[in-house]
Structure 1
Amino acid sequence: MAPLIHSTVPVLPSMDLAASEAFYVQRPGFRATLSMPGTYLIVERGGCEIHFWPCDGNTERPRHSSCHYSRHVRGGTHAPHADFTVRGLPLGAPQECEWGMRELYVIDPHGNLLKFGEPL
C-alpha cells in the first residue's frame, strides 16, 4: 500500500504577521500566497509552504504549535479520517472551512495539533 501522506507544511506562530511577511518575502525570497491581515499568512517558495498564525507571546506558542498536511494527502481528508478511526483514534468529521479547505484535526497526547487539509 502506498503511503497516505507525502509531505508536511509547518504552521508557526507569529507575533506580527506583517513583519513575518516582509521578512520572508524580502530576505529568503518567498512569495505571499495568502495574506489575511491579523488572521493568517502563507508564504511559498519552490513548492515549500510555511503557514503563520498570530499569537500574543510565549504563552500561546507551545499550546498551539501545529503541522498542516495539505494537497498531498492521497484520498483527501476522508482517507486519513477512515484510517485513523479504524486504528482507534476518536475524531470528528473533516470540517469545511471558510478559507476554501476541508480540514481534519488531530491532537496528539502532548497537545500538538495536526491538520490534514484538501482544497474544496
Structure 2
Amino acid sequence: MLTAINPKLPMRDKNVTKDFYLNKLGFKTFGSTEYDDYLMLEKDQIQIHFFSFKELDPKENYGQVYIRTDNIDNYYKFLLDHKTSIHPNGKLETKPWGQREFSVLDPDSNLLTFGQSI
C-alpha cells in the first residue's frame, strides 16, 4: 500500500534552494541532520527532497511536481505577499479539467504546479 511520495529534484546551490523554499514558499527544514549534497524540506503534509547537481543547466531542467492543496487562494495570496514570482504562463486560474492551478519556477527551473479540485 502506497502512503506518500517525496519527489527528489536537482539543485545547483543548496543555500539558494533552501532560502527560496523557506522564505518564498513557506517551507521548513525537515530532519535535524545537515547533508552537504542533500536537502529535505516540508510544508504541511508534503516533503520535497533535493540533490546536488552543480552542472545543471536550468534551461534544460524538466523537473516538475504537481502539489495538491485544499486552499489554493490563500496560498496564492501568501506567495504574492512574500513577493514570490508566479510563472508567467501559470497565473492562478480555473482550468477546463476542474482544477484551480498556478505555477512557480524555483531557482533551478523546477516547475511547481499547485492545484485544487473545484
Task: Tell me, yes or no, whether TM beats 0.5.
Answer: no
Scaled to the shorter chain, the TM-score interval is 0.3 to 0.5
Q: Kindly name which structure, 1 or 2, has the bigger radius of gyration based on alpha carbons.
A: 1
Structure number with the higher strand fraction is: 1
TM-score normalized by the length of structure 1: 0.43
TM-score normalized by the length of structure 2: 0.44
